[in-house]
Amino acid sequence: MKIRMDFVTNSSSSSFLLARKNGGTISQKGRDKLADVMIKHFLGDMDIVSESEEYLQAYMDDNGIGSGDRDYGMIKDTLAEGYEILEGVVSWEECEQSYAELVDAMIGVLKQEENYKIINDDLSY
């Protein structure tokens, strides 16, 4: 465990402390909230490729997906089956901040759980 005693320079990590009652679990409501946090974090800001042929064709053109590409057929078939297509991007340059936001949101859920006690949730260093 890392213990911060003074100003930390050139550090790319943060720590937090939480306690869980022996044998304690997360309630179903808490599990649902954690799942919502994960879904929002990983799927919340994605573009939806609509079933509009014009929009779909513009998307394909913008992403260099031609009619001979495997993705083209998969996208068309998947839309025909009634799915929406979600697109996401993982930016490695922003990954540290994104991960900290995810952990902060998860700690927020655990704060509401009776079997968990947050001791230190300062992720700012």
Per-residue pLDDT of the chain (125 residues; tens, 9 = 90+): 555 555 444 456 678 888 999 999 999 999 999 999 988 887 766 676 766 778 888 888 888 888 788 888 888 888 888 887 777 777 777 777 788 888 899 999 999 999 999 888 887 76
- In a domain? residue 125: no
Which structure tokens are listed for 79? 């839309």
- In a domain? residue 124: no
Number of domains in the chain: 1
For residue 78, what are the domain limits?
17-119
Position of tokens 């009652």?
21
- In a domain? residue 96: yes
Q: Give the pLDDT confidence score for residue 108 in this predicted structure.
A: 92
The pTM (predicted TM-score) of the whole model is: 0.59
- In a domain? residue 10: no
Q: Give the pLDDT confidence score for residue 98 in this predicted structure.
A: 81
